[in-house]
């Protein structure tokens, strides 16, 4: 089957909740994928950072294979011999006491909302049913009904109500607005240290420290959604490390599953995560031995610091090269580690159009919205490959300028 036939089949039998670029991938290795017609592409999206270690990293595939030959699923009705080690190693990596293992990112967010509410009622003493959580304008925390209810993106939200009450939205990066929104009934502040889906929006200098100080002062949990920013992408294990802050709860996902299985987690201290009692929360697949084995191999990769260093070094190269394009087809770029939000001149093209033209030239990237595209190549990409990606972007922008 050729590309068109695959797309037609997926359109005919699959729900239309995505509008993928017309590239049908059949295999992948490292930073490269090959489509059904044998064309090779440099992957500069990395499945929204779920592929931080590239496609089929040998150590991750080996860990998965070994576990497949032994045990894959037990449910949490019983223990399994990988779960404890996974929880301990992940807690240590994040500098926390405890881990609540789940599967998808949205589940980690949902779990943290439940934990924060339970903590609010049982520890903080908020009257039952009154707990509130402050979130940020432009947030992306997933796609469940509760989460889209506090999204400010009309596409994500409109038509899916009624929504779960108990959330207050403030401007991202505005510590005064945050302070004003906190009441005695506020149990948590939930924010992304970098807003990925919003266009790789970096927190203003000092903002995360202000969030930490305010929440500590007012007896409110600080929940950092590091599902996309965490696990090496930004040049540190966690973006909060870059900012020098320690939230109460980290939400991890995406790269935690090594691009092989969905693995997510809420990571926190015993005073907070310890509020959950048996029977109050769970997941059939959460903490399964295959997920734990892959997660452990991911933690091993992160433990050397090699990938964080690569993200820092290659990120400096990416920032330099993209910076040179500002005024030449780009109006702004934001780079942290190996992660860039690239604002194309809206008079030139939409982000979607730029991504189509990049795909024609063998580079895969994805727009966030409008004329903004995101570059998040796997951290295994080489400096030459990274240069190649920016060269292709330079060509696309030059072509668009000449056409216009």
Question: In angstroms, rounded to a whole number, what is the distance separating the alpha carbons of residues 194 and 200?
Answer: 6
Query: Total number of residues binding ligand PLP (CB under 6 A)?
Result: 15
Question: In angstroms, rounded to a whole number, what is the distance separating the alpha carbons of residues 158 and 373?
Answer: 24
Q: Which stretch binds ligand PLP (CB under 6 A): 105-113, 304-312, 338-346, 351-359?
A: 105-113
By the rule CB under 6 A, 225 interacts with ligand PLP: yes
Beta strands in 119-179 (DSSP E): 132-136, 167-170
Least distance to ligand PLP, CB of residue 299, Å: 18
Q: Which residue has the tokens 């295994």?
A: 380
DSSP string, 256-315: GGTTTS--EEEEE-HHHHTT--TTSS--SSTT-HHHHHHHHHHHHHHHTSHHHHHHHHHH
Least distance to ligand PLP, CB of residue 152, Å: 14
- Residues 6 or more apart whose CB falls under 8 angstroms from that of 83 comprise 101, 287, 289, 292
Binding pattern for the stretch 119-148 against ligand PLP, x by CB under 6 A and - elsewhere: ---------------------xxx------
Residue 69 contacts residue 62 (beta carbons within 8 Å): no
Least distance to ligand PLP, CB of residue 18, Å: 12
Least distance to ligand PLP, CB of residue 156, Å: 11
From 140, 150, 167, 285, the catalytic residue: 140
* Sole binder of ligand PLP in the list 80, 104, 146, 372 (CB under 6 A): 104
Q: Which residue has the tokens 């940020």?
A: 136
Q: Which stretch binds ligand PLP (CB under 6 A): 100-108, 161-169, 176-184, 211-219?
A: 100-108
By the rule CB under 6 A, 253 interacts with ligand PLP: yes
Least distance to ligand PLP, CB of residue 229, Å: 7
| CB of 196 or CB of 341, closer to ligand PLP | 196
Closest CA to 265 of 239, 236, 237, 230: 230
From 254, 285, 343, 345, the catalytic residue: 254
Q: How far is CA 271 from CA 96, 118, 123, in A?
A: 11, 12, 9
* Sole binder of ligand PLP in the list 30, 105, 232, 377 (CB under 6 A): 105
| CB of 33 or CB of 106, closer to ligand PLP | 106
Least distance to ligand PLP, CB of residue 203, Å: 13
Chain position whose Cβ is nearest to ligand PLP = 105
- Neighbour tally for 149: CB within 10 Å: 17
Which alpha helices (H) appear in 166-205, and where do they start and end? 175-181
- Neighbour tally for 171: CB within 10 Å: 13
CA 78 to chain centre: 30
By the rule CB under 6 A, 109 interacts with ligand PLP: yes
Binders in 173-212 for ligand PLP, by CB under 6 A: 192, 196
Task: Reply yes or no on whether 53 is catalytic.
Answer: no
| CB of 80 or CB of 264, closer to ligand PLP | 264
| CB of 6 or CB of 254, closer to ligand PLP | 254
Least distance to ligand PLP, CB of residue 262, Å: 6
* Sole binder of ligand PLP in the list 80, 186, 215, 228 (CB under 6 A): 228
Task: Reply yes or no on whether 160 is catalytic.
Answer: no
Residue 213: half-sphere exposure toward Cβ, Cα within 13 Å:
10
By the rule CB under 6 A, 286 interacts with ligand PLP: no
Closest CA to 43 of 338, 282, 247: 338
Q: Which residue has the tokens 């294979």?
A: 65
- Helix/strand number for the chain, H first, E second: 15, 17
Task: Reply yes or no on whether 225 is catalytic.
Answer: yes
Site for ligand PLP, rule CB under 6 A: 48, 104-106, 109, 140-142, 192, 196, 225, 227-228, 253-254
User: Which residues participate in catalysis according to the annotation?
Assistant: 140, 225, 254
């Amino acid at each position: 089957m050729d590309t068109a036939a695959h797309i037609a089949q997926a359109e005919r039998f699959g729900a239309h909740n995505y509008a993928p670029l017309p590239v049908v991938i059949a295999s992948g290795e490292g930073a490269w994928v090959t489509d059904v017609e044998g064309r090779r592409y440099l992957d500069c999206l990395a499945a929204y950072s779920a592929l931080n270690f590239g496609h089929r990293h040998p150590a991750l595939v080996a860990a998965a294979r070994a576990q497949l030959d032994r045990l894959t699923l037990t449910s949490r009705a019983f223990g399994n011999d990988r779960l404890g080690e996974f929880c301990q190693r992940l807690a240590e990596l994040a500098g926390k006491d405890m881990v609540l293992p789940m599967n998808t990112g949205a589940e980690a967010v949902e779990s943290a909302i439940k934990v924060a509410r339970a903590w609010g009622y049982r520890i903080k003493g908020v009257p039952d049913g009154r707990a509130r959580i402050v979130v940020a304008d432009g947030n992306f925390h997933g796609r469940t009904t509760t989460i889209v209810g506090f999204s400010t993106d009309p596409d994500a939200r409109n038509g899916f109500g009624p929504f779960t009450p108990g959330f207050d939205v403030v401007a991202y990066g505005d510590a005064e607005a945050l302070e004003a929104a906190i009441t005695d009934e506020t149990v948590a502040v939930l924010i992304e240290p970098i807003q990925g889906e919003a266009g790789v929006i970096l927190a203003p200098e000092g903002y995360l420290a202000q969030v930490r100080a305010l929440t500590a002062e007012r007896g409110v949990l600080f929940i950092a959604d590091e599902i996309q920013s965490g696990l090496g992408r930004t040049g540190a294990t966690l973006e909060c490390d870059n900012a020098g802050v320690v939230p109460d709860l980290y939400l991890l996902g995406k790269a935690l599953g090594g691009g092989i299985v969905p693995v997510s987690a809420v990571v926190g201290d015993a005073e907070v995560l310890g509020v959950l009692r048996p029977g109050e929360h769970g997941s059939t697949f959460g903490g399964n031995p295959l997920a734990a084995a892959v997660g452990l191999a991911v933690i091993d990769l992160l433990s050397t610091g090699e990938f964080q260093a690569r993200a820092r070094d290659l990120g400096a190269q990416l920032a330099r090269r993209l910076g040179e394009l500002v005024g030449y087809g780009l109006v702004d770029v934001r780079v942290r580690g190996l992660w860039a939000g690239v604002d194309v001149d809206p008079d030139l093209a939409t982000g979607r159009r730029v991504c189509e033209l990049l795909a024609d030239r063998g580079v895969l990237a994805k727009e966030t919205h409008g004329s903004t595209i995101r570059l998040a190549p796997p951290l295994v990409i080489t400096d030459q490959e990274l240069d190649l990606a920016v060269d292709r972007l330079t060509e696309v922008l030059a072509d668009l300028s000449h056409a216009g």
